[in-house]
Structure 1
Amino acid sequence: MPNTISGFSKLSKSEKIEWLLNTYFTDKDKARSLVQGYWNSDDKLQKLHDEFIENTITNYYLPLGVAPNFLINETTYTIPMAIEESSVIAAASKAAKFWLDRGGFKAKVLSTEKIGQVHFIYNGAYDKLKAFFEFVKPKLIKETASITKNMERRGGGVLDIELRNKSEDLPHYFQLHATFETLDAMGANFINSCLEQFATTFKTEALQFEYFNSEEQNITIVMSILSNYVPQCLVRAEVSCKIEDLKSKDIPNPETFAQKFEQAVRIAEVEPYRAVTHNKGIMNGIDAVVLATGNDFRAVEAGVHAYAAKDGRYTSLTHCSIEDGLFKFSIEIPLALGTVGGLTRLHPLVKFSMDLLQQPTAKNLMQIVAVAGLAQNFAAVKSLTTTGIQEGHMKMHLMNILNQFEATETEKTTLVTHFKTNVVTHSAVVEALTKLRGLD
């Protein structure tokens, strides 16, 4: 078959690149120059990056920015954010500054339990399985001692194991449902190692009982894996102030603003089409901090969106209330994060981000990330219900359009000034640039 190769992973980095260039590119020199242009000039650092993943050919850069002035539980933070979308950091910074003079953000970790499961098939009587589980449960925990001893020394470990009967959802399907405390580690490798030992012990012990030896009544382990749905690893963040204190340069009528803002959030609570975009804006802030701190934003995304649909309908992650003249805006989300392990001690910019955040514990980081999501959502809903989302977003996007058309520094300066008083659209920028260049 064309464009296929055997043993690609065994090639050296330069050999991989040459195969790609020879197979897919017409201008090989230009493509090679681009790939090599993103290598780090420090060979040791580049080797570190190369070893993060498989088949590495170069680095893919994202901007790392910061959002200052976040007052969280009476401590001031400058929050690192890695993201490519324009206006996100500007919006977060603006929200942080807005609430800085109104008491700041309050955040609290509600729980930190994480989940892992051993999924298995069993065809026999449930009472026999249940009795066996109660018998073997202490041994399941005991035989993970070599894995859990260090975690237990710090106060974590296996919290519990339950036998769950899921046969009404899928015939003959059961699971060992385990809860864990992993402290400052995200804990994926720890949890998966424990689960695989649970599965081995469970199967081995079952073979010692005659009842489970027949083909009709045996236990078949399907898989052992942690869950990224962590509804018991929760953090809450909120802001609040008197309605009259909402008054500012762009909120001349705080009573009207508060009512409109609350209505916008309620719409996201009942309308899934709006809720998805509403929550996507929240994740702009959350993902950017999760990525900057070396955590797994895909796991966070999956868990958060599952939580948004936990009651059978996808809904807003944030909530707003107006009671007795008090405006309150809050978020409650599941976040399984770590400040040790993974990239947190390997990636130099992750180390930088952790230093910037004053070396937070996992609980501190949960609070910071939740606040970033809440701030992002406040800024978005505030814009939507006042000036509209495009005014600020497109002005931030202006530079991307100018760079797309390779505008000079002089052209950029001229057009940034021009669009301070004109509406930014892609066509308007192209028209203005064309006119400036005398090409119209």
Structure 2
Amino acid sequence: MNHQPVEGFSKLTKQGKIDWIVNEYLEGNEEYQQILKQYWNEDPDLQKLHEEFSENTISNFYMPYGIAPNFLIDGKLLALPMAVEESSVVAAASKSAKFWLDKGGFKTTIINTKKLGHTHFIFKVESHKLQHFFNFKLKQKLFEATEDITKNMRSRGGGILNIRLVDKTAEMDHYFQLKASFDTVDSMGANFINSCLEQFGKTLKEEVANADDFTQEEKDSLQVVMNILSNYTPDCIVRAEVSCKIDDLKDDSGISNEEFAWKFKQAVTIAEIEPFRATTHNKGIMNGVDAVVIATGNDFRATEACAHAYAARNGKYSSLTHCTTDNGVFRFWIDLPISVGVVGGLTNLHPLVKFSLALLGKPSAQELMSILAVSGLAQNFAALRSLVTTGIQKGHMKMHLFNILNQMGATEEEKQYFVNYFKDKTVSHHEVIAELERIRNK
């Protein structure tokens, strides 16, 4: 079937959009109309609120919203909200929280909260001449030009921390940056940073045009390419850690505490040196981080991009977590670069985001950074604990069991049968199907 482009799709009503999609791509099947509409909220105001978060909205896409209790973080007992569809994430986080509850819990340290942004520009001028102009004329003008933008942020203790000229001409002809660092306090700060940077671009052009430091030909060569924050924030970083005596690890898998600690450290070291393992290792960390990021209305895509860039900062992709077993003490920690906010964006709009932040005691942005690092560390601990003892499939597939049964249209009675059937067995997709067919035939 040859589909036709559509004009003015965004101007159609919601029903008009659905009609066009179903008729053009789904052969007019009424079932698809109903699939979309069954996820509409019965409260029209709440539905409208959700629709206005994005564009061309025709329905809502639901994800499970779960709770991982018993997290002792810096002396506070918290229950973490987690929006995630992957089986076993919430269960694994909860299991880790319980494991560390009587061992002092999780400790965190905010290492830095600096965020970055750049004005990228091309300027056919000698570097030393531009540096002199920046040092003695431009830098102060940039601060002055953004005073109105930064006034409110400065009143809250944030603002522009520093501005540098960066010479990138060795990598690209005539390429320079204005690199600025920011403190955005409790907001993620994207709009604030981008507004400052766009003003930098305007001020740069104005000051160069009026300067007697450059020839007219040099002035004409200036091109501001873009002004944009960076989602890579290696100086906005938090550490979360757990530790205890190896004698107190008390794993119930049947291996000794010493063997558990040794195997666990080997698993972390493998992730530090082997990128193929590190990718899966870090993905598991982000299972925990992203689930809380989404539940608190923050940008999980930015969080992912930053974490993986940081994992490769030394030229080779490596583990975000680390482990030592020195002097009879087991220590496990993560250094996580993460930029999040608790004001602005969806935090004041989305009802479940409001609930999540209230559940967490209305944390500051720094406190939320700590919670997110802990959620990632807990997830990684649970995964590695399974990998070096019983194997990952035993616990994961038990959580996945209901997905398999739902796909097969299992009754509640059949589901209960399989819970008992796999009580002391490892779940496999093949065995579920075979046993389901057997009992149905019987």
Q: After TM superposition, is the score higher than 0.5?
A: yes
Matched, 1:427 2:430: yes
Which residue is 2:217 aligned to? 214
Shift of the alpha carbon at 1:217? 6.0
In structure 1, which of residues 174, 178, 198 is the aligned counterpart of residue 176 of structure 2? Answer: 174
| DSSP-derived class of the 2:210 partner | coil
In structure 1, which of residues 230, 235, 241 is the aligned counterpart of residue 233 of structure 2? Answer: 230
The CA distance in 2 between the partners of 1:44 and 1:24, in whole Å, is 30
Which residue is 1:116 aligned to? 117
Which residue is 1:278 aligned to? 281
The CA distance in 2 between the partners of 1:260 and 1:224, in whole Å, is 48
The CA distance in 2 between the partners of 1:66 and 1:169, in whole Å, is 48
Shift of the alpha carbon at 1:381? 0.4
CA RMSD of aligned residues (A): 1.2
Change (3 A) 1:251 1:180: farther
- Following superposition of structure 1 onto structure 2, how do residues 262-277 of structure 1 map, counting pairs within 5 Å? 262-277=265-280
- Following superposition of structure 1 onto structure 2, how do residues 184-333 of structure 1 map, counting pairs within 5 Å? 184-210=186-212, 211-214=214-217, 218-250=221-253, 252-333=255-336
What percent of counterpart residues are identical?
A: 57
In structure 2, which of residues 333, 339, 345 is the aligned counterpart of residue 342 of structure 1? Answer: 345
| DSSP-derived class of the 1:55 partner | coil
Which residue is 2:441 aligned to? 438
Shift of the alpha carbon at 1:250? 2.5
Shift of the alpha carbon at 1:257? 0.5
Matched, 1:91 2:118: no
The CA distance in 2 between the partners of 1:414 and 1:42, in whole Å, is 38
Shift of the alpha carbon at 1:215? 5.6
The CA distance in 2 between the partners of 1:53 and 1:101, in whole Å, is 44
Q: Is the 8 A contact 1:212 1:218 kept in 2?
A: no
Shift of the alpha carbon at 1:249? 2.5
- Structure 1's consecutive aligned runs of 4 or more residues displaced over 3 angstroms after TM superposition are none
In structure 2, which of residues 372, 376, 381 is the aligned counterpart of residue 378 of structure 1? Answer: 381
Q: How many residues align?
A: 439
The CA distance in 2 between the partners of 1:50 and 1:2, in whole Å, is 26
The CA distance in 1 between the partners of 2:110 and 2:131, in whole Å, is 34
The CA distance in 2 between the partners of 1:303 and 1:428, in whole Å, is 41
Structure 1: 5+ residue runs without aligned partners? none
Letter in 1 for 2:237: L
Letter in 2 for 1:334: P
Which residue is 1:56 aligned to? 57
Matched, 1:165 2:167: yes
Structure 2: 5+ residue runs without aligned partners? none
Shift of the alpha carbon at 1:26? 2.7
Shift of the alpha carbon at 1:213? 2.9
Q: Is the 8 A contact 1:109 1:367 kept in 2?
A: yes
Shift of the alpha carbon at 1:248? 3.5
Q: Deviations over 1:220-261 (max 9, x none)?
A: 100000000000001000000000000142354101100110
The CA distance in 1 between the partners of 2:316 and 2:351, in whole Å, is 41
Q: Deviations over 1:111-150 (max 9, x none)?
A: 0000000000011111221122121111111111111100
Q: Deviations over 1:164-189 (max 9, x none)?
A: 00011111110000000000000000
| DSSP-derived class of the 2:339 partner | coil
Q: Is the 8 A contact 2:241 2:332 kept in 1?
A: yes
Letter in 2 for 1:349: L
Which residue is 2:67 aligned to? 66
Shift of the alpha carbon at 1:212? 5.0
Q: Deviations over 1:36-58 (max 9, x none)?
A: 10000000000000000000000
Q: Is the 8 A contact 2:168 2:174 kept in 1?
A: yes
| DSSP-derived class of the 2:415 partner | helix
Q: Is the 8 A contact 1:118 1:198 kept in 2?
A: yes
The CA distance in 1 between the partners of 2:391 and 2:28, in whole Å, is 44
Change (3 A) 1:201 1:94: same
Q: Is the 8 A contact 1:119 1:173 kept in 2?
A: yes
| DSSP-derived class of the 1:344 partner | helix
Shift of the alpha carbon at 1:27? 5.1
The CA distance in 2 between the partners of 1:232 and 1:111, in whole Å, is 6
The CA distance in 1 between the partners of 2:201 and 2:215, in whole Å, is 15
Q: Is the 8 A contact 1:122 1:172 kept in 2?
A: yes
| DSSP-derived class of the 1:111 partner | strand
Which residue is 2:157 aligned to? 155
Change (3 A) 1:128 1:215: closer
| DSSP-derived class of the 2:165 partner | strand
